Structure 1
Amino acid sequence: MADHELGAGASAAAGSAVFVGRRRELAELHAEIDRPGLAALRGSAPAAARVLLIAGRPGSGRTTLALRLAAELAARYPDGLLFARLTGADGTPLPAARIARDLLRSWRLPPRPAPVPGLPAQAAGAPAEASRPVAAVPPARAVPAPTTTSVSAPSGPAPSSGAGDASAGLSASSGAAPRGAAASARARTAPADPSTSTGAPTARADRSASPSAEHAAPSRVSGVSMPAGAAASSGRPGASPGAAPAVPPGRPGGPTGTASAGAPGVGGASVSSGAPARAPFAGGGDVVGDPVGVLRAAVEGRRVLVVLDDVAEGGQVAEVLPGGPQALVVATSRGPLAGVADVRPCALGGLDAGAAVELITEVAGATRVTCDPAAAEALARQCEGNPTALRLLAGWMAARPGRTVGDALAEVSRVAEAETDVSPVARAFRVVYAALPGPAARLARLLAIAPDATVDDQFASALAGCAPAAAGRMLDELLTHGVVRPGPDGTRLVLGSLQPLLAAELAARERPADVTVARARMLERAVRLLRSCRGYAEPLGSPARKAAAELPKEVRFPSAEAADRWLRERFPVLLAAARIAVADGELDTLARRLAVALLRALEAHRQAADRVPELYELHGLLLTVAKRHAEPRQQAAALLELADLDARRGRSAEALRGYRAALDAARAGNDPLAQGRALEALGDGYRELGDAERAADWYGRALTLRLGRGDLAAQVRLHGRLGALATSAGRTAVALREWRSAAAVARRAGDPSGVARALAATAVVQERSGQPEEALRTGQEALHWARQAGDTRTEGTILLRMADVLDRLGDPAGARIQREAAGRLLQPHGAPPA
């Protein structure tokens, strides 16, 4: 799950979950921070940041504990909090470049505390660095916001146990969603080029764990927004300094939208109700160069706190480890981190008996535990204190008011006797899964193929093949049982520790063909939503907008703003869906449609500039599909787009290689349009490198191709570029020939503005070659064509050039008249008076 962030958006559970147990572990971790490392014992300065490791199996609450620690340490690291998950939803380790980008994008400064009457900001608990003004910049990429692990019992929302690790979700920013979706809601233009001067130019309210209870609105604890499952941890309220017990929504003092103004935070700071300021790094959206190098340079010398969740191997940490002792890294993993020096480990086992019983009490209700405390303690022992197992069984009881703790103990004991070699989480899951109704159980196992382990009513209805309302009810049931976690805006996040179990059930109970059909329905739904989203970015009355209005109401958006928000928030999930579809290889047509729809929606909503690395990936996915099916035309299109991205980022050598590969593919597919574009782009690339001879050669080849196809606009453009090259090289005869050819072709094409610009360029060449009278006559002709076209900007520019020629000819009065006329024409375009 690729995208998390701390401090941006709000956690759906941070204000409603109770932190139970883990007091000893927290104390150990706090003590390790200031304990001298191996380098200090040797008398040398530390070369890298201190690394604290929280080691435990998935479902042990390791992510929750890491983020609890981060919340308590926020005041000590005022330069910002960073979070990234190092393993994908399918268990695949993520590459270092992607991890670095995620860290940069998640970088947020802790929020400033609310002022205390009579005290300055520092006295109120805010560090000086955190109180400095930092402009709040909209994130380049909507990162999925953290959510709770807790699921409410029918009597009201219940706190979580810290059961399990964070799951990626959708962004928590609010906004309207496509109706029934429980979601909130240009073509590339080449840069201006002198040589082309002649060219033709309603969201449903968040559901609670039970259908009768209202889901808590987001809130923030200690300025740290946590991923799913992070809010519930494993220490008692007040167990550690600065940690504030949260109040469940619906109870006195509970949050109903934003954090309470006076809620205590880390270091005595109040919880801020506004979004925290973005850290002083603007490269998160489009990191030019090596993202790992950019990350290291950005955090150098800063007191930042970095949380690396679900580390697969030590090399992942070593690659992004900040240099210098100022930063602190908190990592979670299954075991030791080989290759990382001086790691301070904290092994995470089960909850102690008291904390485990408290967790059961909070989720299942106090009455049942009070009636049979011995059974509650026995249940805790049977689950080995595992928070996820306890949470599942407590949810099983919460969904069945007539069942007792003894009943839950009997059920899990029966499973334990039948399957002695399975984990406590697996045993608890067996109990819960067996009790689910058939449709809900089928949806649960189909959640194993949900992209980024995230689902909403729309995706759930597509997977299950039912109406969104019915899918929403089933998701509520799974939420009550603890199979999924609540996410922002009605989304649901699959518990990471349950993913393998759900996948095993899917393989055992569903035919492969049925799984493929379910995935196809989900991809088709995503394509329709993206088409609707794109339509809302177009003007009213446009064909795309009309087409969006004709779509079913479930996939329509209430406004263009809602569609834009939805795209920003859902982008990570949609990208994950495209990745999975291409990797699967069975639904290549749908995968291609999804990638194209996503690219077009990004362009329509002007979000492409913030997602350059993802654009590379999307076009790479399209290239993979094209190669798989031996489609040279599609390969050429994808290669051209990839080369364009390289060219825009200044990677000229890579761009030239890409254009050559695209040219070969276009020739193999007999695609003259792609050939022409590649040839012209090669000319542009060599011109950028200052190789005018090669640029002219490629432009000449492109011109020959365009002449054969009768493409007048392209001919004008290419004649102009050849003319500009010749002008720069001082080859007057060639330059005059090319510019006059450009003017002639523009005249045939019916483009008076193009004629005017070509003639104006011709006049410039004539003036530079010592022919001012000829330049003046050519300028007058260009002026005639500009006036015919009504192109006041070109007309004003020509008048200024003519004024220079008149000055050279010794006519200052005439030059002054021309400049005054040019000033009147150019002032509406923002130019100063002549």
Structure 2
Amino acid sequence: MRFELLGPVRVTVDGRPVSLGGTKQRMLLAHLLLNAGRQVTSGQLIDVLWGEDPPASAAANLQTYVWRLRQRLVFTGPGEGLLTRDGSYTLVLPEGALDVDRFRELRASAGRERDPEVALAALRAADELWRGDPLADLPPVPAWEAELGRLSESRLAATEERLELLVRLGRPAAALDELALLLDEHPYRERLWQQYLLALAAAGRRAEALAAYTTIRGRLAGDLGVEPGPALREVQAAILRGDPPAAEPARPGPLTGIRQLPADIADFTGRAEAVETLLAALAPRPGGVPPVAVVSGPPGTGKSALALHVAHLLRATYPDGQLYADLGATGDRPADPAAVLGDFLHALGVFGAALPAGATARAAQLRSRLAGRRVLVLLDDAVSAAQVRPLLPADGGCAVLVTSRSRLPDLVGAHHVELGVFAEAEARRLLSAIAGEARVAAEPRHAADIVEFCGHLPLAIRIAGARLAGRQAWPLGTLRDRLAGESGRLGELRVGDLAVRSSFELSVRQLPPDGVLAFGRLALLAGREFPAWSVDALLGRPAHDVLDVLVDASLLAPTGPGPGGQPLYRLHDLIHCYAVEVAGAEPAAGRDAAFRRSVSALLSLAKRAAQALPPAFGALCGEPVGWTLPPETERQVVAEPLGWFAGHRPVLGRTVELAADAGLAELAWQLAASTVPFHDLRGHYDDWRRGHLRALDAVRAAGHRFGEAALLRGLGQVHLYHDEYPEAAVALTRSAELFAGLGERRGEALAVAGLGTLARVGDRPGEALRHYRRALDGLVAVGDRGGEAQMHNALGSAHLQLGQWAEAARRLAAALRVARELGDSHREARVLTELGTLHRLTGELPESLAGLRAALAILEDLHDERCTAYALLGIGQTLLAGGELAHARGLGERALRVFQETANRLGEANALALLDQCRRALARGPWPSPMPATGTGD
């Protein structure tokens, strides 16, 4: 399978194109391909597909597009495919499957190649991958602009390199036409003009070359108010002198013995894109400022290994020497710039009295010594930009490569490359290179687990591979089992003087006290990805400053905006293991208070979000407990309640478990209960049941009767939805008893209403009426008008069951009136569904259809799949009654699919009955009469 972005987005299998669906689905694939191997959040994808104003259905539609995309893409390798984790998506491709990666590798290989003919062939092959502008068939997306700009710039740079090789190889005529076309598109690009002048001169057209220089000089001065740059001026001077056209400006004699780079990494693996980026960024700029590149990233991501590898690749580009210094950011005493300058100057032959005192004078002498030369300076493990600045040369023929755990944003003019963890394929290749390819190939599943437990962190994989290499008798499964336990994982990832824990410890040691405190407390959160407000709760104050410190130290990675525009951050799995150790060193009182604040803040947000959803009948929750965020922050965070719940669904469930384990029964049961409106709307019954059962253990252990009664009422509803009637009876009866004992009349009424529904679905309408009337009295007494509307609706359903049409109509009319007075569109739709049934049973088929279709429109807008299925079923039953068999069957099939997905056996049985009736009716032939216009009434 091949994936192509360099032109219209395309996927092929054995050369044949794969159908990718509509524009939105191709945009989804394009964004995943642009971020191949990296995690992409649902929020980012929604922004890409719908922009700043997504529809309410965006999250649901996104899931549909993802599902369809999975059906079209076929992967065969281990760990490949469209992976889902924590509500985010990662597209893991086979090596070499993406044309962008092949283009970059071909260009990088050309840069490494000493034979110009071979390099030219590689650049031609890279150019042939382009079929037009990247993603030319898709609408513009702001999130793509930077990456597409980089691709286009990289293509132009590769073209310049190819044309330069043609001139060097004595084929200037082959380059001139293409150069002329490119200059029409890029009339001020001086590198193209340099090549054009050199090609003209090499073709024997010296006068034309000089005229072309006059043209560009006039254009730059007249249009931009600038003179040509030094490199272009030097080309003109060389042509005037009659020098060989490709000759470089004269430089001072070569330096000798300046080869300070440590040895390259023998088994260096992956990072092809980063290598290409750095090679391009560190190209000499004769006459300009020296290129500077900074490689940053979390501890253990291989910053030094990458920088060292790139530095060795650049040795031929910087033949006058390579200077190296370890600046010791993670040590006890970071290097003094003056001392480093002294070492550099010693290497350049400055000794004794010739060596000035002080960093300022030494920096000036270093700049003088490097002027006109081509020297690469590698500064490893920098503390800050202030430490780096004195060590920078001034000549554009030199270059500086810096590594740092911090991003050094104040190092002006530097090109920044930020490393993350390896992609799956890179991680496996590194493990194979160290432990042995045959061993890894023999146990692919264990190998996949090992790199997963290493979090794809290069240092961890290197250590794991070294342990296996030193223990040839071990099967990979032995190390896999040792790494499986999270609590002991860091201890296992140690060999010789390499240890993952030590690497993390060095970074944390540099943090201020609040940073250390916040870092450890991150281990208390339920998920590895979390919003900024979570850290506010952990510290009990706004924590933007601390978050910035953790991000700058590369201990946290920003992952984009979350619900409400709150920044999201991610903690790497192995760094999380170390955070657990740091948290364990904090006194328990502070740690417990931080966790309580965190759960309290989450609970308050969940309650606020639930208030904006259709109310779930029977849901009960207590008063706010503990610490909360400022109201304005809460409003921003849950501005899109459905999206907030969907994004926090795993975290909510896990936090209920953590709160229960910590003995915070009140917080645990309230948090479980606050999720009911969302779970009810979306049919997440397993999550609903799991959270309630876990919280139920906690409230029973704490003797918390109200919480127990509320949770039993919720569990009773889940049992009803799953047609587990004996279990529902036990839970609802016990809930009613507990509420009655506490004098909680509303809770008792809600539990009794559940018993009424249990009787109704058990075909005991008379018993149902008694329960419903009792529940109605209780809800009216406490002023619960929403509950009152629900009970009128329930009474209407029971009267329908008894064939008492007039009483059913009276109760349903009362329910509809109260629902509309409350502005409760969800309850209105439920009543309209029941009225549709009444009208069908009384022969008023047009009225039935009108009410059911109105209900369907409301429910689809609210994304309530369960109730939507009942409306679809009702429409199907009415259409069947009117003889529209094909339409009835189609609606029955749609309803059946939802009932089966939500394990609703009663709904499934009704839908199957409808389909069977349609089948039999179709087999009998045409329906005898059209749908009547009116019914006969009661």
For the aligned pair, the TM-score class normalised by the smaller chain equals 0.3 to 0.5
- The structure with the larger Rg is 2
Q: Which has the higher helix share?
A: 2
Larger RCO, structures 1/2 (Cα 8 Å, 6+ apart): 1
Q: TM-score, normalised by structure 1?
A: 0.41
